[in-house]
Every structure is written in C-alpha cells, then in structure tokens.
Amino acid sequence: MTTPLRVGAVNYLNTKPLIERLTGFAPNIDLTLDLPSRLADRLAAGELDVGLIPVVEFFRGDSYSFVPNVAIGSRGPVLSVTLFSKVPWEQIRSVSLDEGSRTSAALTRIVLQKRYGVRPTFEQLPIDAGADDLDTDAVLLIGDRAMRACLPGYRFAYDLGEEWTGWTGLPMVFAVWAVRGGVELGAAETAFHRAKEYGLANAGLIAQREAPALDLDPGYCRRYMTNIIRYDLGPTELAGLRKYRELAEELGLVAPAPRHPHAGRAQ
C-alpha cells in the first residue's frame, strides 16, 4: 500500500491551476486546503509533507527544498495583494495585516522601511473581520478578499506586486511548493508539473467554475490566472527570491542564509 503524501494548498483563485487534478495525477496525494499562514505552521509541525507556503516561511523553515519551476508570483501588478491606505506611503504610521498573509506582510514591512523609510506599528486583521472601518492608516489584504475589496474610505490602493517590480526590476514570488526535510517525492514530483500544465491549459474552465462563488466576472478571473499571475520559477524569479531574502534578512524577518546551502534551495 502506497504511503499517502500529505499536501496542503491555499484555497485561493490563484492556486487553482496548481491543484487542478493534482490528486488524479498522483492518487497517493492527500490534499487539504487552508490559509497560507496555517499551512506553513502545519508543515513546520510535521503535519504536512508538502505545502504551498509563503516564501518567507520557506526561508524560515528547517531544511526545506522546493518543487522546481512551480510557484505563485508576478512581474508587475498582482491584483490580489493590496495595501489600502488613507494616506501616502510616507505618512503611514499604522497598518492592519491580513491574518492569512506572511510573505505579503513581510513585503509590506520591507517596502515601507527600505523604500520609504517608514516604521509604522502593525496589528493583525482576523480573516473574518471587516476592513472598511479600521482605525489604522492602512490595511493589507491578500487573495480573493483583496480582489473583491473596494474600501472607498481609503484613498490609495497600492498593488504590492507592482511596487516590488517597479522598485527592484525583479519578479515577486509569493509562494512555492515547499517539501519538508527528509520527504522524498519520488514519482509524485511529476504530478505537480502535470497539474500546473493542465490547470493553465484549462484556465478558462476554472474561471467559469470559480467566478460565481467569488462574485467576480469569469473573464476577469481568466485574465488574472493567465495574464497576471506567473506560475514559473525560472532564473529571474529565483533572482527575485534572493533579493527578497536579502532585504528580509536586513530587517531581521528571517535568519541569515547558511554559508553552504543545500542543493535545490533558493538561497
């Protein structure tokens, strides 16, 4: 009897192309869906073998590797990671952070401090809490919630993918398939690539299926998956990962990279 491979993913629209038919391509995969922050905690606790986790948690992990050439990222606007603000960047003094976010929360800190020289206070916004009437100057929303949000009380809507690429000239990678140390994927590794290829080839069908529950236009959902989100993890994306880690290290958000990193790690 084949040992189940415990895999966790996020239940956001941008994840759908990566998990479409994943369990069909590898029947031994036991797939569960959760928030990205919770997936990271479960992977660290040994409750998952593979998790589509925030990259900041990949860098914080112990001996993680990743499935090559599969990620969730952007090169320019990402649409689903937005900092809504009542004031311009330089005047932000307090920020509410979406409970589901860790990579984007760290990215917010990086951009505020390293690009704009601002050190605001931060507080957490529960995943089920409204964001329209907060006392903080700004609020970070991610995922499907960010795509639906309007927040008319906030004058500015800063797209953090656009901010990052405009600043660094590099893609922003938000999540990777992290593999816990000691876990051997074997033939299952192919399933992650096949699911990605199948999902992107059927993005129109996925958009048509998912849009009603999200209260979004199917055409908008399709363009988001095919024209906005990038699912590759090539040389330029790896360069973006390295830059992100460098800046996160400078702010003490992740520990310094080991001098002799393991093969396959994005150090």
**pLDDT at res. 101:** 79
Q: Is 248 left (phi over 0), alpha (psi -120 to 50) or beta?
A: alpha
**pLDDT at res. 267:** 40
Range from 9-18, 21-30, 31-40 carrying the lowest mean pLDDT: 31-40
The tokens 């499907």 sit on which residue? Answer: 144
- Which burial class, exposed, middle or buried, applies to 9 when counting CB atoms under 10 A from its CB (0-12, 13-18, 19+)? buried
Segment 24-32 mean pLDDT: 96
pLDDT digits (tens, 9 = 90+) for 88-126: 999 999 999 988 778 999 999 999 999 999 999 999 887
On average, the pLDDT of the chain sits at 92
One-character DSSP codes across the chain: -PPPEEEEEE-SGGGHHHHTTHHHH-TTEEEEEE-HHHHHHHHHTTS-SEEEEEHHHHHHSSS-EEEEEEEEEESS--SSEEEEESS-GGG--EEEEETT-SHHHHHHHHIIIIIT----EEEEE-TTS--TT-SSSEEEEEHHHHHH---TT-SEEEEHHHHHHHHHSS-EEEEEEEE-TT---TTHHHHHHHHHHHHHHTHHHHHHHHHHHHT--HHHHHHIIIII-B----HHHHHHHHHHHHHHHHTTSSPPPPSSPPTT---
Of the two residues 250 and 131, the one the predictor is more confident about is 250
- Token pair of 114 as six digits: 């390293």
pLDDT digits (tens, 9 = 90+) for 177-230: 999 999 999 989 999 999 999 999 999 999 999 999 999 999 999 999 999 999
Q: Which amino acid is at 188?
A: A
**pLDDT at res. 266:** 46
**pLDDT at res. 153:** 92
Beta bridge mates, 133: none
Whether the pLDDT of residue 265 is over 50: the answer is no
Segment 17-46 mean pLDDT: 94
pTM: 0.92
Q: How confident is the model at residue 258 (pLDDT cuts 50, 70, 90)?
A: low
Whether the pLDDT of residue 261 is over 50: the answer is no
Segment 48-69 mean pLDDT: 94
- Token pair of 139 as six digits: 């609020």
Whether the pLDDT of residue 6 is over 90: the answer is yes
The tokens 């609020």 sit on which residue? Answer: 139
**pLDDT at res. 89:** 97
Segment 244-250 mean pLDDT: 97
Whether the pLDDT of residue 129 is over 80: the answer is no
The distance of Cα 157 from the centroid of its chain, to the nearest Å, equals 19
**pLDDT at res. 164:** 98
Whether the pLDDT of residue 55 is over 90: the answer is yes
pLDDT digits (tens, 9 = 90+) for 66-91: 999 999 999 999 999 999 999 999 99
One-character DSSP codes across 22-68: HHHH-TTEEEEEE-HHHHHHHHHTTS-SEEEEEHHHHHHSSS-EEEE
- Taking residue 24's Cβ as centre, other Cβ atoms within 10 Å add up to 12
